[in-house]
Amino acid sequence: MRPKITFLVLSFALSTASLVAQAQTPRTTLDIYVVDVEGGNSVLFVTPSGESVLIDTGNVPPGAVRDAERIMAAVKDAGVTEIDHLIITHWHGDHFGGLAELASRIPIKQFIDHGANTQPTPQTDEFLQKTYPALYAKATHTVVKAGDKIPVTGLDWRVVASAGEVLKSSLPGAGKPNPYCANFKAGESNAEDPQSVASYIKFGQFRTVHLGDLTKNKEFELMCPNNRIGTVDLLLGLHHGQASSNSEVLVHALRPRVAIMNDGTRKGGEPEVMQTVHSSPGLEDLWEMHFSLLSGQEYTVPGMFIANLVDDPQPNMPIAPITAPAPGPGVPPPPQHNGTAYWIKVSAQRDGTFTVTNARNGFSKTYSRVR
């Protein structure tokens, strides 16, 4: 008996030791989860010390519970028990929509936004008058301006646009003339997209931007005549891949090595944007939340770079892109995706090296620091 007991005790001690070792292994990377909220936006940042920043919360009902649960899955994977800073980029239903559902699932300590809604709609205004003040009553509520810093330990987090105003002076090391300004063509937009809270985030040598749904005309104000941001490693969001944003003055001048597009099954990934991104100097890969029918096979990336499928997969995806139907009654719904959803995860190291992983198929690629 004795040898057996010894063996049991020893193996228990060993497994306990490895568990302890696992629990105590400090996180050294900035982890970024791009969550699938069906053509909305939600991106979770977790620093090495475990501090968290969430940008946006997915869609209004009927998508709100689904999207809040998907955000919570990323939150749990990251080992986070509270959201330290929440940024709502602007008051559109695909960005603030899951907030009340999310707030009922996890404490949120700071609520950050650009201020008042500029595009009145009954659902949004009711949320802002009744629901939102109750959510931030026991937390901090901060209205940010361009140029503000958001205090996140270990990161340099700067607001580069908010409430329609852009950064007035260049970030350190930036400010060179932007050669793409000469060919700029103005774009169209609604009222709220240009109000977006836009962020520049630096972790050691790693640099990324998330600009909410900032529009072409604001991109021009921010990036012309001088590029006030400089270059980045990773471009996040891209306004779902919609052509009211994503001018060359932004995308080509930022020179991202990697872009991750928060598109939907029939939202964004539009040909004009795909051409701009695919021709962006220095771009190594575009990753997408979804295959968008607006891209077709013609413009999309290979499936290994796409995180999500649809509930009823089509036998083959159409080659030609389609034009988005004008909104209104009688429009056929886009392909639905309410089943299992997958995130794209980025793990960035201080030296600028970062790894992108597609949670659906496990495909992973490391982008080494440029020497």
d(CA 361, CA 108): 32
Find the part of the chain contacting Zn ion (CB under 5 A) among 42-50, 115-123, 206-214, 267-275: 206-214
List Cβ neighbours of 40 (8 Å cut-off, separation of 6 or more): 56, 58, 59, 63, 67, 93, 94, 95, 97, 98, 262, 264
What is the DSSP code (8-state) at residue 264? B
d(CA 289, CA 291): 7
C-alpha distances (whole Å) from 371 to each of 70, 202, 209, 284, 288 are 37, 18, 21, 16, 27
Residue whose CB is less far from Zn ion, 38 or 84: 38
Nearest CA to 305 out of 237, 365, 240 is that of 365
Find the part of the chain contacting Zn ion (CB under 5 A) among 93-101, 176-184, 230-238, 320-328: 93-101
- Binding residues for Zn ion, rule CB under 5 A, total 2
User: According to CB under 5 A, which residues from 211 to 230 bind Zn ion?
Assistant: 213
What is the DSSP code (8-state) at residue 128? I
Find the part of the chain contacting Zn ion (CB under 5 A) among 103-111, 147-155, 208-216, 263-271: 208-216
Residue whose CB is less far from Zn ion, 42 or 52: 42
Residue whose CB is less far from Zn ion, 31 or 94: 94
192 binds Zn ion (CB under 5 A): no
Residue whose CB is less far from Zn ion, 96 or 111: 96
Torsions phi, psi for 268 (to 5 deg): 75, -170
Residue whose CB is less far from Zn ion, 67 or 94: 94
Tell me whether strands 234-237 and 206-210 are parallel, antiparallel or unpaired: parallel
Among 51, 84, 94, 270, contact with Zn ion (rule: CB under 5 A): 94
Find the part of the chain contacting Zn ion (CB under 5 A) among 92-100, 158-166, 264-272, 292-300: 92-100
Q: How many CB atoms lie within 10 A of CB 185?
A: 9
Residue whose CB is less far from Zn ion, 89 or 280: 89
CB of 273 to Zn ion, least distance (A): 14
Interaction site with Zn ion (CB under 5 A): 94, 213
